[in-house]
Structures are given as structure tokens and as C-alpha cells.
Amino acid sequence: MDLIEEHWEVLIGEMPLKIAYPVLEGHEWRVITGSDPKNMAWSYHNGGSWPTRLWLFTAACIKASRLEMAKRAIEQVEQRMSKDNWPEYYDGKVG
């Protein structure tokens, strides 16, 4: 939890939560993904933000007695999801 809090802008960003971090780039991306364009850096499975992971993060926060972290992440989702028409995931470094 301390690590997530310390790197909030990268791991949580504007839309929780990265499915994978750090992202794969260059040779490593080509080898592991087979140069799959949907898995470019900061997209889909390669650093994309998945709001559906919020429940796991919230459960972990509750278990670790870090309720303020969960509340902060939930508030971010509440501000964007309906406005953005409930997307499956967000691309980009901050979602």
C-alpha cells in the first residue's frame, strides 16, 4: 500500500488501476506480445487502466486499514465513468 501511495500518479493516475506496470517497450514488447499493436505501451494489457480492478484494490485497502486510499480511488472513478460512457479501460499513462 505504501508503494501504491508513493507512486499514485503512475499506478492509479486519473483512472484506477493499471493492469500491468512497468509497461513493456521496445525489444521486450516485441518478444513478449509478438508486436501486438493493441498492447502498445500504455494501452490495453500493457499499462492500461482498468476500472474493473477497483474492487480488488478497495478490498486490499480495507484489509490493510487504508480506507482513505480506497475512498480517493473511488471518488476518481465516480467523477469520470458515467461521463465517459462506462469504458472498459483507459489508455495512457494516467488513464
* Cis ω for the linkage preceding 16 (within 30 of 0): no
Compute the distance between CA of residue 12 and CA of residue 49 in angstroms, rounded to an integer.
Answer: 8
Query: How much is the pLDDT for 62?
Result: 96
The rounded average pLDDT for each run of 10 residues, N- to C-terminus, in the chain (95 residues) is: 91 84 88 85 87 92 96 91 91 85
Are 1 and 69 within 8 A, CB to CB?
A: yes
Compute the distance between CA of residue 95 and CA of residue 88 in angstroms, rounded to an integer.
Answer: 12
Q: From the CA atom positions of the chain, what is the Rg in Å?
A: 14
Whole-model pTM?
A: 0.79
Q: Is the dihedral of CA 24, 72, 95, 48 positive or negative?
A: positive
Query: How much is the pLDDT for 55?
Result: 92
